[in-house]
Every structure is written in C-alpha cells, then in structure tokens.
Structure 1
C-alpha cells in the first residue's frame, strides 16, 4: 500500500469494492487502503439481498445483509483507520418497489419503520451517522400533494427512531425509473422542510439530478440549507468525474467555499463506477479526483449575486 497520503480539499468518501484490484476483495483491507490514500471518509451503497434480482456489489457489500459480528469488525476497522463512516443503503423491503410511503398505507408504513429500527442497529455497529432512504414510487390513485403529505408523515415517524441516536436519513433523489417519486432537489427540499427534523436531510446526488434537472450549482444554492450529503457520478454512464458532461471542478470549488463560509464539512460520496477495469482504472479514478480537487482555495467566500431590475 502507498505510504503517500494525498490531502484533498473536500471530504470525499469512496465506497467499499471500489479498489478491489489494488487492495484485494476483503472489505477490511479495502478500508485500510482507502485511509492510506488520504481519504477521511468511506461509504457503502450496496444493497444485496435475496429478493433483489440484480448485483449491487460494485457499489458495496450491503451493510443490511451482514452479520452483527462482521459489522462490529467493520466498525472497528473504520475507527482504527481514522475514517468517518458515511452513508449506507437501507435495503428496500420488497422488490419491485411499491408505494410504501406515498400511499399512506399503515401496514406499509409499519414495514418501513421496522426497517428503520434495523437501520439504527446497523448504523450503531459501524458508527454511521447517515443512512440512505428512498421515498419509493408514485401511487397513481392519489394526487401528488396527498402523496407528499403521506411521505412527510412517514418520515416524521422515522425521525423519531433515528434522531435519538444521532443518525440522519439521507433522502435520495433518483433518476433510474420514471415511476420513482422523489426526482428533484426542489421536491426533496419540500419534504425536508415539511418533516422539519435534524434527522432528515437531502442526499444531493449529482448524477441523478443532472439527468433529471441539470443546473446543479444553482440548485445547490437554492436548497443548500437542507443538503446533508452529496454523491457524485458523471453523466452519461455514472463513471468517475471527468468522463462525462458535468464540470465537477467548478462544482467542488463552489461547495468548498460555501462550506467554508459556514464552517461545514459535508461528505461527498464517490457513488459511481469506473471507466476502466483493473488497477489502471483505479489509478485513473484517483487521478480524476485529484484533477477535480485541484482548484483555488484562496478566494474570498462566495458572495450572493444580486440581480438588479432594469431601469424603467
């Protein structure tokens, strides 16, 4: 393993199984390798389970599916390596997804809340302060306003479960299918403001939001107060920054100065695939992050621009 740690400007969090060629397939060795590279955080976006019909292992091992003793080992390894555990995914209870929250169905809500209680157990074992939560799919029998209210109600109950343990739901905007309910940053902002709890914040996933709405910097500014976590992936292809159309160097610089103004240090999850296979691909990924992270940090903090009305 390299003994040269790179000092990044932002708190990037690679996910488990991103460096299997360089560090080996053992997640414990991968955690140590990620720390050795100079990263300060780590995440896991896998959600493998018997009822999930596809392989999510390229994004992580899926913490919900691991034995308690192994979770304890992972948690200790993360702590000993000096890393912060970022988010992990709360595995969908059923597949394909159903209108679990949007419908207002009390039986569905109880299933969701039981999953939240297990999420607390998992989070405590791996010292995680975030868990990725989805708002599921539309219930086409109800007006969107009623569905929104139903989601807010369910998330308030979930906040009662997570908040005493200092765990925050990272409410994720998604673009994988047109029936997914939560698709825009404005919608996530509305939900977080409606829940109005410190344990419910937006996961601003730039891959999904570029596909759904674009104009990322303007939307970051618009919903900044409710962003609790970032994730990245370039478009198209969901590969590392620099492989697609998103100017991540400008976005990272913008986030850096906004954070500096408020003394924040949000985690930026590397929730993406690699454009190349093998060690070569992993080295290319690291080089891409260094290039995007190479921005001027000495500028004054961002000042809000005022748009003046033309003289009449």
Structure 2
C-alpha cells in the first residue's frame, strides 16, 4: 500500500538499494510505490576524489545522457519531482575558488555550474546545490563575501529564465569551508537579489554549526528554497540523534501553509543500519516523524 506523507520527502538513489536493487530506474519506481513523490541525488565521483560519495546517489553529472533521459522519463511517468543534485567538485580537497576573486578561479566556478544547469534541464531538476568552497585567508572576510556575491550574480545571468534555482548550502565538514550559517547565506542571497539564488537549509550541517534550527529557519525563511535532513550525530535518519524532527517537520508544514510555500525535503543522510532491515527502519522513521498532525 502506498504511504501518504504530509511533506514532500525526497530519498536519494541508494536509499533502498537492498530492497529495490542497484538499477536506478527500479529504485525510483520502488520509492514511488512507497509514496515518495520526489528524489534527490548528492553523489559524485571522480578519479581525484579519494572516497566513495555514491552512498548519497549515483552522481547525475557522472551519468551518460541516455541514463539521465531514462531517469527523467521515468519520473515524469510516475509524477515525481527531481530535487537538487550535487555537481562534481572541480578539485579535491576544496580550495578558495570563489572567495579569492581571481578571474581564472571564477571561470572554473562559472563553468562548473553552467554544466550543472545543462544536467538540470536534462533531468527536469529545479534545483542545483552550490557550494562556495574555502576561505581565502589572505583576504578580509568582507572582500571574500563580495567576491562570492559577484560570482553568483554572474551565474544568475546564466540561470535567468531557466526555472532552475541555485541553492547555497552551508557546510560543516571542515573548518576552512566558507559558507557556514543560515544568516550568512541569507546575507549573500539578499545581496545577489535573484530568484535563481536561494538557501539550501541543510539541518544536519546547521545543527552542527549553530543549532536552534527553528529559530534560524524563521529568521531566513524568505530566502529558503530547499531543505535537507540528517540527524546529528551520525548523519542518519530521524529518530537516531538529537534533532526532534517530528517537531521540526510540523513547524515547516505549518509555516509553509501560512506563507503559501511548497518545499522538497531531501533525505541527504545515511541509513543508521545496513541492509534491508536498515531500509525498513528508514521508512518507519519517516512514517513516525510525519505523524506530527496527530499529536
């Protein structure tokens, strides 16, 4: 029986690989059968990246056009939406590509996300995850911010009229990453001043960096275009860490209704338990956290 969710949760390819199989099309069909109406993909792969990021997805930018076309066609038939996806990093580990202000670095940034736009159009995605990489410790923070704003404005000229939104993601993976808080993201989005540049409110990263999720969410609400989920510690499903996701989901639901907004909530996390049993636990955790209207 197909489950009915109050919010638009989006698993990634790989969330149900043990029960649906490795074929991405079979996974999409299985997720639709479970009642999910969207997916996302945060995987990426390159020879210079020394770890496996495909646990978060297959990496849309690494796929041939034939695979992307089949994914898009399948989702259209199933009336599913494509959430955000990650563009493969240009170098690893990340460096000060955006914050440096150097023209040759900005060209790398522009080219990277211009290619991301091409993939988004192919798979009917309305969002592309954008990261601002690392601090340039040789420059004042204000200059680095100005350089990031300039680069994003140039990208907005390219994205204008496409229907695709760049969603800026604050990160917690390393202390040298530049974009870290909700209000910092808000300031940049307001300065860019475009519907093509908004906030990806990743609750895993923001819980680590600043906490008080609902407080900060309300503060930057007008610039949020997308949410991502992950508990802390462990970056796993609701019910496995310190975040009260039932309460957070209820707040998002009620505020969305009040402000006439509609969000995809990407399940950008690992399963706390391996195998088919872990996938059953994953589904159960979302069914439980989604019961907020019954409380």
Root-mean-square deviation (CA, aligned residues, Å) is 1.0
**1:151 counterpart = 2:145:** no
* Cα shift at 1:51: 2.0
2:37 corresponds to? 40
1:173 corresponds to? 170
- TM-score relative to the length of structure 1: 0.93
* Cα shift at 1:89: 0.4
* Cα shift at 1:163: 2.3
1:59 corresponds to? 56
Distance 1:207 1:297 in 2: 25
Larger Rg: 1
Query: Which of 242, 260, 280 is the aligned partner of 2:277?
Result: 280
Deviations 1:11-35 (A, max 9, x none): 1000011100110000110011111
Query: Which of 81, 97, 100 is the aligned partner of 2:97?
Result: 100
Distance 1:99 1:169 in 2: 19
Equivalent residues of 1:217, 1:251 under 8 A apart: yes
Distance 1:255 1:83 in 2: 21
1:23 corresponds to? 20
Equivalent residues of 1:116, 1:161 under 8 A apart: no
Deviations 1:83-136 (A, max 9, x none): 000000011111111111000011011111111221121011110010001010
1:264 corresponds to? 261
1:310 corresponds to? none
1:81 corresponds to? 78
Equivalent residues of 1:253, 1:297 under 8 A apart: no
Distance 1:57 1:120 in 2: 21
Distance 2:227 2:45 in 1: 22
Gap runs ≥5 in structure 1? 299-312
1:121 corresponds to? 118
* Cα shift at 1:47: 1.2
* Cα shift at 1:297: 7.2
Deviations 1:182-225 (A, max 9, x none): 00001000110011100000000000000000000000100000
* Cα shift at 1:283: 0.6
Distance 1:271 1:115 in 2: 22
Distance 2:113 2:55 in 1: 24
Q: Which segment is superposed worse, 47-56 or 148-157? A: 47-56
1:309 corresponds to? none
2:150 is paired with a residue of what secondary structure? helix
- TM-score relative to the length of structure 2: 0.98
2:206 corresponds to? 209
* Cα shift at 1:10: 0.5
Distance 2:93 2:273 in 1: 31
1:212-227 mapped onto 2 (5 Å cutoff): 212-227=209-224
Distance 2:31 2:127 in 1: 19
